[in-house]
Structure 1
Amino acid sequence: MPSGPSPESSGSPQPGRFAARRRRRRRLLFGVLGGALVGLLLVPVAVVGSVVWVRQSAREHVFAVADVPAAPVALVLGAQVYPDGTPSPFLAARLGLAKELLDAGKVRAILVSGDHGSWAYDEPGAMSRWLVRHGVPARLVVQDHAGFDTYDSCSRARRVFGVERTIVVTQSFHIERAVTVCRRVGLDAVGVGDDSVRRFERAWRWGGFREHFAAVKAVYDVFSRRDPVFLGPPEPGIRDALTG
């Protein structure tokens, strides 16, 4: 009597094969979950470590206006400009602080550095106009049109404009990172931070929260030693402002 087809010849799945597939799928799932868990654990470690590094690096280099050591140049970092060309309150506060430094004899020129990535949006142009309208001589204001972020502004101040010593000006929640980045790219930098716009509570809290993650980017930027988005040739604006 002919026998029926064996399991091997019938093509029917065998229990052992099902078990092997289940084991492979289980290992894959555990691997994915394990990798995700490690990633979730590394994020807070990276954030905390970066924030501590930024704060330690900026220690003893952040001052009040009355106490900050004099430097030839104030470096004002850009912030939002409204569609009509008006600086936002945060940016206007930075510019007011730079004018205060100039009036007090703490600096002799002002470098305004911001985003001018399109013709329709011009942070340094708006910053320069604000300063001139408020009594700063135009010859003392120099524009950096490729300060797309803090690292680019600091790096270009040193490599393009030839700044060696500077007082960095921004909001107080940002000042430690700004000073740290500037010092790490070769500037002898100290900083003063503005607190006057703390009244905009939601924006202020968001700025402080964002700094935790921006610190991670700062670590990458300074240790990778990347070039700015746009470097370009040396520019004589600061030299002319200081000697003119």
Structure 2
Amino acid sequence: MSPWRRRLRRLAPLARPRRLAPLALGLTLLLLAPAAWLLLTSAGHVHDPGDDTNVPVMIVFGTGLEPGGTQPNAFLRGRLDTAVELFRTGRAKAVLVSGDAHGDSGDEVTAMSRYLTDRGVPQRRIVADGYGLDSYDTCRRARDVYGVRRALLVSQAFHLPRAVSLCRGLGVDADGVAAGCRDCQAVTIAYKTTREVPAAWKALYDRLSDRPPVVRSPATEQLAAALRD
């Protein structure tokens, strides 16, 4: 074998990664495309709790209970504490708590309502949707069942782009307020942040398919009553 052929054979393994790099980059961009779409469509509509945004209704997204099924988990406590502060400062007049009333961890909306009333939010200002089985269903039912047209969405920052984009795509003039999470572990926050990548694909499917919520309910005046003086 000539010296040139031997040299080319030695260089061949080095050339393969260079050929694979554009393919890997393309696949990565494709994987992240729905998440980028959520960030773009929610841009300018995610705020800190101190920002001056006032609306009739805030929507608090459920996210599970502590073992025992009666107390909100750390993430949900952060959302509810933020909702209490927003209510106290007059940023919203009523609260729609949305989650799974029959979830594996327990009745989310009953626990959420109790947590709010224990901290001074009047029961008459709280409406519970026990069929907010995911973020899309929460937004769809808020519009179709409860007549929400403008709202503050209360959740952690990693979730808000998806929540805001879904609600706005369904015609709800929504802004997100980033909730804190004092007792949340960093590893759990990192996991939930990473989980938003596959969740973005589901959000894209939900929006493109315009699917109905899992549970359909007739329109109700509950929220309108909660907003009355």
TM-score (norm 2): 0.84
- Which amino acid letter does the alignment assign opposite residue 131 of structure 1? L
Match of 2:155 in 1: 170
1:123-159 per-residue CA deviation (whole Å, 9 max, x = no partner) reads 0111000000111100001000100000000110000
Match of 1:23 in 2: none
Structure 2 residue runs of 5 or longer lacking an equivalent are 1-23
User: What secondary structure sits across from 1:172 in the alignment?
Assistant: coil
- Which amino acid letter does the alignment assign opposite residue 152 of structure 2? I
Aligned mates of 1:59, 1:160 — CA distance in 2 = 27
Q: Of residues 40, 43, 47 in structure 2, which corresponds to 1:63?
A: 47
* Contact 1:46 1:216 survives alignment (8 Å): no
Structure of greater Rg: 1
**Identity rate of aligned residues, in percent?**
38
Aligned mates of 2:98, 2:37 — CA distance in 1 = 25
Match of 1:7 in 2: none
Match of 2:20 in 1: none
Equivalent runs, 1:191-210 vs 2, <5 Å: 191-197=176-182, 199-210=184-195
Match of 1:160 in 2: 145
Kindly report the root-mean-square deviation, in angstroms, between the aligned alpha carbons of the 2 structures.
1.9
1:35-80 per-residue CA deviation (whole Å, 9 max, x = no partner) reads xxxxx99864443110110000010001112214211000000011
* Contact 1:197 1:204 survives alignment (8 Å): no
For the pair 1:73 / 2:57, whether they are aligned, the reply is yes
Q: 1:118 to 1:94 in 2, by over 3 A?
A: closer
Residues paired across the two proteins, number = 205
- Per the TM alignment, residue 119 of structure 1 is displaced from its structure 2 partner at its CA by 9.6
Aligned mates of 2:103, 2:165 — CA distance in 1 = 29
Equivalent runs, 1:59-208 vs 2, <5 Å: 59-82=43-66, 83-117=68-102, 121-197=106-182, 199-208=184-193
Aligned mates of 1:41, 1:124 — CA distance in 2 = 43
1:64-114 per-residue CA deviation (whole Å, 9 max, x = no partner) reads 122142110000000111224100011011001011111111100000000
Q: 1:79 to 1:119 in 2, by over 3 A?
A: closer
Aligned mates of 1:149, 1:229 — CA distance in 2 = 9
Structure 1 residue runs of 5 or longer lacking an equivalent are 1-39
* Contact 1:76 1:98 survives alignment (8 Å): yes
Match of 2:8 in 1: none
